[in-house]
Chains A and B, each alone.
Chain A
Amino acid sequence: MSTTKKIAGVALAAALGVTTLSACGGGDTKDKPAGVSDAPKSKTVTLVSHDSFNVTDTVLKEFEQQSGYTVKVLKSGDAGAALNQEILTKGSPRGDVFFGVDNTLLSRALDNGIFTPYEAKGLAEVKPEYVLDKEHRVTPIDSGDICVNYDKAYFAEKKIAPPQTLDDLIKPEYKNLLVTENAATSSPGLGFLLASVGKYGEDGWKDYWSKLKANGVEVVDGWEQAYNERFSGSAGGKKAKGDRPLVVSYASSPPVEVLYGEPQPTEAPTGVSTGTCFRQIEFAGLLKGAKNEEGGKALVDFLVSKKFQEDMPLQMFVNPVTKDAVLPELFTKHGVVVEKPEDVAPETIAKNREQWVKAWTALVVK
């Protein structure tokens, strides 16, 4: 009996230790940038981002060595949730730089004034069509296209051409083949809705969607399900016996299928319908009230530097925004270039988004 008592006693003591620690955990200096208030130059710079942010360790290390800063990365949920947290903590941010606001959310970020203007070194290299904010409160970092992907094997076997445009998707030969995501909760879902708004206008998109619905479009909640469960062309979908050969995903999904194939295939099993795309542009900005503004500026410079821009494609599967960045072979060989993505101005999106999503839900889901 005495050993059990001892164990219980130790556990209790440990537990109490932990709670005491938690009660005064704020003083935990380890988590704070060293010398926040007294030293002239803080050594830690914090990047706040969403779950998809990623960078090769060696690339980040190199920046740390050259700049003398230590980079701390804080990821918090999906893109929408991460941005909303920044808006809530406006004035007292958790970090110095926020990365991951895209053109569908840009107006919300700018209207809430969470960023300090800063013109990044190297901005001249950024393709001008991506610079949407002339005051430079945000700096474009990457772009990616949300497009319908198709299962090559399916269409080869059925001997029909895969669809190429939004118009194709409502044709009878593609009946009951497409699965998309809930526009209310998923960013590819929203992107696809916006592609239709871009193409058919604010008046015409509803008509398009009723035809798409009549043609048997299936809506699931998120990308994981659409792509890994329902889509017949992906690895997960094959295992799950997915029977939809068309899915709303990204233009970079085929290269990813190659990279993470086991063993790597010589050709991507999936293709992209290039006439169905909506272009997402992601931005970073220096947060208002940043504790380490100098470090934050250096970090923004780093994000548009050639080194980071060329590392990005294989880490986050997006395209660089600078003119001089060279794409990896995987992208040039298996990826596609989307010449004319559909486009909707950020202000128009900000103004109508909620109402569009509501109308879409009523029309397609219910």
Chain B
Amino acid sequence: MAVPLAFFGLFFAYPVAAIVGRGLKTDEGWQFGRFAEVLARPDIVDVLWFTTWQAFASTLLTLLIALPAAYVFARFEFPGKQLLRAVVTVPFVLPTVVVGTAFLALLGRGGLLDELVGVRLDTTVWAILLAHVFFNYAVVVRTVGGLWAQLDPRQEEAARVLGAGRFTAWRRVTLPALAPAVAAAALMVFLFTFSSFGVVLILGGPAYSTLEVEVYRQTAQLLDLPTAAVLTMVQFATIGAILAVHAWTVRKRETALRLVDPGRTTHRPRGWAQRTLLGGVLLTVALLIVAPLGVLVERSFDTPDGYGLGYYRALQDAGAGGGTFLVAPLEAIWNSLQYALAATAIALVIGGLAAAALTRRGGRFVRGFDALLMLPLGVSAVTVGFGFLITLDEPPLDLRTSWILVPLAQALVGVPFVVRTMLPVLRAVDGRLREAAAVLGASPLRAWREVDLPLVRRALLIAAGFAFAVSLGEFGATVFIARADRPTLPVAVARLLGRAGELNYGQAMALSTILMLVCAVSLLLLERLRPDKTSGEF
């Protein structure tokens, strides 16, 4: 508990408080009057309204589309499942500029949809919503699916034997067990879409703006810190409210569950209903996720002399060409991997300790801490980045130009995933098992190792996958902090896209494709780490 608390205090609460304080405090003291002033502005009211309703709509749409997939991934066995699970997570790491390009190619003028049915969705709110589903699909599939796969189907079967209908059995047995995971996923999707930045900028055009976009504009462009501070506080308050609601629903629902090895709950789809469901999910994935990714891959090979590896070869030459601008792609991959590994490690330790502490203790204080851990998801990178600048500027903590700042900032966003993924599983562990272990003479550490760890290992790996993917794709904070000589893949892509010329554009597409590959391969490797399926130590 002390370690995560110190971590968050030092690398989140303190910097953010400092930058907000800078905005709200003048020589004459605190300027709380600013709140009324800023919140009365009609343009800000518009921003608030749009931010909120699009987040609700995006979350609902994501749940609607992704929950069947969570079921399919949890219960069915089909060829290429692991690969597909990695593929749906890829959107997570892609820079929004790149994704915007892909979506415009599909939904915009002259795009696939336009040519087939004559419908254009760019600059409409539908493009934003669909892109949000694209980005957050994996959150639902992995968070909910992870738990679902470990629920013992025999409990539902037992209910049916006792006379309950199929739906009643599902509603009375499976749904309550699943509810915390669904709530956690919904919450994360909401936080992500509530603080949406790039998607809204690119697909919505300048007419739509979220709170996050406004905070960025006020801070990075206008240096209007008072307004930025007010908006940051509003974002805080909203997220706080959402978290409170979430905590309340979870507390009502959470029960100790009987978890089993996921290998035992899956089977090949049987009957037309299950096959249709699987087919439907595969089709959705193909249209919604694979198609946009495919566009990018296609463009990376589409050189003026026909399809070829021209842009990939150019990437190699770039490294030798000199100039601090271009780096060899291999080097950027290596930088990205190093940062992401360090960030994942930090996120796992901090998040793991926090999750463990949260399961053990109750009380208002702990619940408050629970909420604190989620806040980084809803606070803009620019606020944190600028906060770092004005707080971590004195030895021994002058980290402003140190490489460690990048993984630290990335870990801040990774920790909530670790906590959210692990909590439902940890809380579901029957406390009596631990007590039994203690009675038999095990130390708390040993009890954790022997009882909790085997059960949560899977959740831990899913969490690690998330933290890794988030870190790999993180752009907002990295771009402020990354040293010129060590750009990450997303930073390198952005630099290429920022220049005119065929070769630069092609290389940006090629580098994005490499980013996808690196992510997919890393996730596959991570899944491979999964313990063998015969584990049955309890």
What residues make up the interface of A, taking CB atoms closer than 8 Å to B? 1, 4-5, 7-8, 11-12, 14-16, 18-19, 21-22, 24-28, 31, 46, 49, 51-58, 60, 72-78, 80-81, 84-85, 87-89, 92, 94-95, 108, 182, 184-185, 219-225, 227-229, 234-236, 239-241, 243, 249-250, 253, 256-257, 259-263, 315, 317, 354, 361, 365-366
CA distance A15 to B415 in the complex (A): 13
Shortest C-beta distance, A183 to chain B (Å), equals: 9
CA distance A229 to B359 in the complex (A): 49
B485-497 toward A: CB 8 Å interface, digit per residue (1/0)?
A: 1000000001101
Shortest C-beta distance, A49 to chain B (Å), equals: 8
User: Looking at A57, A236, A243, which has the most chain B CB atoms within 10 Å of its CB?
Assistant: A236
- B505 near A236 with CB under 8 A, answer yes
Q: Verify if B105 is at the interface (C-beta below 8 Å from A).
A: yes
CA distance A192 to B481 in the complex (A): 30
B residues in contact with A234, CB < 8 Å: 500-501, 505
- A46 near B401 with CB under 8 A, answer yes
Interface residue stretch chosen among B63-71, B371-379, B402-410: B402-410
B residues in contact with A241, CB < 8 Å: 109-111
- A8 near B345 with CB under 8 A, answer no
- A260 near B504 with CB under 8 A, answer yes
Apart from A57-B322, A221-B206, 13 more pairs, CB < 8 Å: A11-B345, A19-B3, A22-B407, A72-B401, A72-B483, A84-B219, A84-B386, A88-B389, A184-B206, A220-B205, A228-B505, A253-B500, A317-B499
- B457 near A4 with CB under 8 A, answer yes
- A85 near B205 with CB under 8 A, answer no
- A235 near B217 with CB under 8 A, answer no
Q: Verify if B498 is at the interface (C-beta below 8 Å from A).
A: yes
Interface residue stretch chosen among B52-60, B165-173, B297-305, B432-440: B297-305
Q: Nearest A residue to B347 by beta-carbon distance?
A: A15
Closest CB pairs A-B (n = 7): A260-B501, A235-B502, A15-B345, A241-B110, A26-B396, A260-B503, A81-B220
- A240 near B396 with CB under 8 A, answer no
B residues in contact with A366, CB < 8 Å: 207
CA distance A239 to B457 in the complex (A): 46
Shortest C-beta distance, A32 to chain B (Å), equals: 8
- A315 near B206 with CB under 8 A, answer no
CA distance A16 to B299 in the complex (A): 42
Main SS of the interface on chain B?
A: helix
Q: Can you show 15 pairs from A to B with CB atoms below 8 A apart?
A: A8-B457, A18-B349, A19-B349, A22-B404, A53-B484, A75-B482, A88-B390, A225-B100, A235-B502, A239-B505, A240-B105, A256-B501, A257-B502, A361-B206, A366-B207
User: Looking at B221, B386, B404, which has the most chain A CB atoms within 10 Å of its CB?
Assistant: B221
Q: Verify if B78 is at the interface (C-beta below 8 Å from A).
A: no
In the complex, which of the residues B396, B403, B482 contacts A27, with contact meaning CB atoms closer than 8 Å? B396
- A54 near B109 with CB under 8 A, answer no
In the complex, which of the residues A25, A73, A95, A229 contacts B104, with contact meaning CB atoms closer than 8 Å? A229
In the complex, which of the residues B324, B390, B501, B537 contacts A261, with contact meaning CB atoms closer than 8 Å? B501
User: Looking at B304, B449, B453, B501, which has the most chain A CB atoms within 10 Å of its CB?
Assistant: B501
Q: Nearest B residue to A358 by beta-carbon distance?
A: B43
A residues in contact with B79, CB < 8 Å: none
Q: Given that A15-B348, A219-B206 are known contacts, is A260 also in contact with B499, CB under 8 Å in the complex?
A: yes
Shortest C-beta distance, B427 to chain A (Å), equals: 21
In the complex, which of the residues B111, B324, B403, B482 contacts A60, with contact meaning CB atoms closer than 8 Å? B324
Q: Verify if B399 is at the interface (C-beta below 8 Å from A).
A: yes
Shortest C-beta distance, B314 to chain A (Å), equals: 8
- B206 near A220 with CB under 8 A, answer yes
In the complex, which of the residues A26, A52, A92, A221 contacts B399, with contact meaning CB atoms closer than 8 Å? A26
B314-346 toward A: CB 8 Å interface, digit per residue (1/0)?
A: 100000001111000000000000000010011
CA distance A361 to B207 in the complex (A): 9
Within 8 A of A (CB), among B403-429: 403-404, 407-408
User: B interface, how many residues as a size bin?
Assistant: 35 or more
In the complex, which of the residues A81, A262, A365 contacts B310, with contact meaning CB atoms closer than 8 Å? A262
Shortest C-beta distance, B395 to chain A (Å), equals: 5
User: Looking at B111, B219, B392, which has the most chain A CB atoms within 10 Å of its CB?
Assistant: B219
- B346 near A15 with CB under 8 A, answer yes
CA distance A54 to B484 in the complex (A): 9
Q: Nearest B residue to A55 by beta-carbon distance?
A: B324
Q: Given that A219-B205, A219-B206 are known contacts, is A85 also in contact with B404, CB under 8 Å in the complex?
A: no
Shortest C-beta distance, B15 to chain A (Å), equals: 12
- A1 near B217 with CB under 8 A, answer no
Shortest C-beta distance, B203 to chain A (Å), equals: 9
- B499 near A81 with CB under 8 A, answer no
Q: Given that A73-B324, A224-B97 are known contacts, is A52 also in contact with B498, CB under 8 Å in the complex?
A: yes
- A15 near B349 with CB under 8 A, answer yes
Shortest C-beta distance, B537 to chain A (Å), equals: 7
Q: Given that A27-B396, A77-B479, A262-B310 are known contacts, is A51 also in contact with B205, CB under 8 Å in the complex?
A: no
B429-466 toward A: CB 8 Å interface, digit per residue (1/0)?
A: 00000000000000000000100010001001000000
Within 8 A of A (CB), among B117-160: none
- B345 near A18 with CB under 8 A, answer yes
In the complex, which of the residues B100, B322, B390, B535 contacts A56, with contact meaning CB atoms closer than 8 Å? B322
Q: Nearest B residue to A255 by beta-carbon distance?
A: B500
Q: Nearest B residue to A112 by beta-carbon distance?
A: B223
Q: Nearest A residue to B11 by beta-carbon distance?
A: A22
Q: Verify if B241 is at the interface (C-beta below 8 Å from A).
A: no
Q: Nearest B residue to A86 by beta-carbon distance?
A: B389
- B500 near A256 with CB under 8 A, answer yes
A residues in contact with B22, CB < 8 Å: 88
- A184 near B217 with CB under 8 A, answer yes
Q: Given that A77-B220, A77-B479, A184-B221 are known contacts, is A89 also in contact with B393, CB under 8 Å in the complex?
A: yes
Q: Verify if B520 is at the interface (C-beta below 8 Å from A).
A: no
- A224 near B498 with CB under 8 A, answer yes
Shortest C-beta distance, A185 to chain B (Å), equals: 6
In the complex, which of the residues B479, B484, B500 contacts A74, with contact meaning CB atoms closer than 8 Å? B484
- A7 near B483 with CB under 8 A, answer no
Q: Given that A21-B404, A108-B223 are known contacts, is A235 also in contact with B501, CB under 8 Å in the complex?
A: yes
A residues in contact with B402, CB < 8 Å: 25-26, 28, 31
Q: Verify if B9 is at the interface (C-beta below 8 Å from A).
A: no
CA distance A241 to B104 in the complex (A): 10
Q: Verify if B101 is at the interface (C-beta below 8 Å from A).
A: yes
Q: Nearest A residue to B302 by beta-carbon distance?
A: A239
CA distance A12 to B299 in the complex (A): 41
- B345 near A14 with CB under 8 A, answer yes
Q: Given that A8-B453, A221-B201 are known contacts, is A81 also in contact with B382, CB under 8 Å in the complex?
A: yes
Q: Nearest A residue to B394 by beta-carbon distance?
A: A92
CA distance A212 to B535 in the complex (A): 70
Q: Verify if B85 is at the interface (C-beta below 8 Å from A).
A: no
Q: Nearest B residue to A46 by beta-carbon distance?
A: B401
B residues in contact with A57, CB < 8 Å: 322-324
CA distance A240 to B481 in the complex (A): 32
- A229 near B503 with CB under 8 A, answer no
Shortest C-beta distance, A186 to chain B (Å), equals: 9
CA distance A54 to B22 in the complex (A): 33
User: Looking at B22, B219, B314, B398, which has the most chain A CB atoms within 10 Å of its CB?
Assistant: B398
Shortest C-beta distance, B318 to chain A (Å), equals: 11
Q: Verify if B202 is at the interface (C-beta below 8 Å from A).
A: yes
B residues in contact with A224, CB < 8 Å: 97, 497-498
B residues in contact with A236, CB < 8 Å: 502, 505
- A228 near B497 with CB under 8 A, answer yes
CA distance A108 to B481 in the complex (A): 23
In the complex, which of the residues A24, A74, A259 contacts B501, with contact meaning CB atoms closer than 8 Å? A259
Q: Nearest A residue to B326 by beta-carbon distance?
A: A54
Q: Nearest B residue to A28 by beta-carbon distance?
A: B402
- B480 near A77 with CB under 8 A, answer yes
- A225 near B202 with CB under 8 A, answer yes
- B342 near A182 with CB under 8 A, answer no
Q: Nearest B residue to A263 by beta-carbon distance?
A: B304
